[in-house]
Structure 1
Amino acid sequence: MALETILLAVGRDDHDRLGRLAEETIDVAKPAGSRVVIAHVFTESEYEDTIDNLEFDRDAENLSADAVAARHSSIRELQRRFDDAGVQHRVRGAVGEHGESIVELAKDVDADRVVVGGRKRSPAGKAVFGSVAQEVMLSSPCPVTFVRSDTK
């Protein structure tokens, strides 16, 4: 199975693991010559807050989820790392439920692999609070690589 496209899903809580997410993705993408799609999914409220925080001009600027994601600091940091490594990449954004939207993006870009981050959680914690990574692993149309945070 060729690895043409890798979807790297980045969320609002992934800032502390951006380095590990980038390293793990580059380690797979570079030798395979894969294209990386860096994805950021916003809930409706996160999307509105991000538009305000990044000071978009609601009347003049493109407010697509792709455009908002591309200006997010985490995404810009990952783009810099992929540029430095010589890995082809592009940015996609989506608005909706995190896990479900990541799975839909994986289908839309015809991903051969999805990379997601997360932290260690007890089974009870997953049952009570849910887990985006777990939902992606169970519903993804392709294999998923989970990158665990060094911190709890």
Structure 2
Amino acid sequence: MPTVLLAIDDDESHVERQIETIAGLPFSGEALTVTILHVFSENPSGASVNQLKTARLARDRLEEAGLETTFAERSGDPAAEVLEHAKDEAVELICVAGRKRSPTGKALFGSVTQDVILNAECPVLVAGDLETEFET
């Protein structure tokens, strides 16, 4: 069964775009499982992925679209953990959210999405707001 890794953060608008993108993928009759992954960079209270509003939103909406979902969580550097999870679980596709950032912002602070795109061993789908992402 093919697996898509949906790497989410706490931003509802990002997750909404990712849900729409995954739900709109053309499937060739094969069942698809979506693993909803959240990487905790800091988690002193011991929160779990299923406590996150964005994770529950993704699960509910994807299941309404007829897709099977599972939760996963990791701790550490988000890009490294997304890549490690994808490798460990042999996922076929990683879906991340794009966000508009200046070239200076990307150079100074890096980008989880950029790191995942450049280092993934499988295809990466970036769900972004086309009206925002390509403004000139």
TM-score, normalising length from structure 2? 0.87
75, 93, 111: which one aligns with 2:91: 111
Cα contact 2:9–2:15 (8 A) shared by 1: no
2, 5, 8: which one aligns with 1:4: 2
Q: Offset at 1:82?
A: 1.2
34, 38, 44: which one aligns with 1:40: 38
Cα contact 1:18–1:78 (8 A) shared by 2: yes
CA distance in 2, matches of 1:29, 1:70: 27
Q: Secondary structure at the match of 1:86?
A: coil
CA distance in 2, matches of 1:104, 1:42: 14
Q: Structure 2: any 5+ residue segments left out of the alignment?
A: none
Task: Map residues 48-67 of structure 1 onto 2, 5 A cutoff.
Answer: 48-49=44-45, 51=47
Q: How many residues align?
A: 131
Q: Structure 1: any 5+ residue segments left out of the alignment?
A: 52-67
Task: Map residues 70-149 of structure 1 onto 2, 5 A cutoff.
Answer: 70-149=50-129
The residue type equivalent to 1:19 in the other structure is E
Q: Offset at 1:120?
A: 1.4
Q: Which has the higher helix share?
A: 1
Cα contact 2:8–2:38 (8 A) shared by 1: yes
TM-score, normalising length from structure 1? 0.78
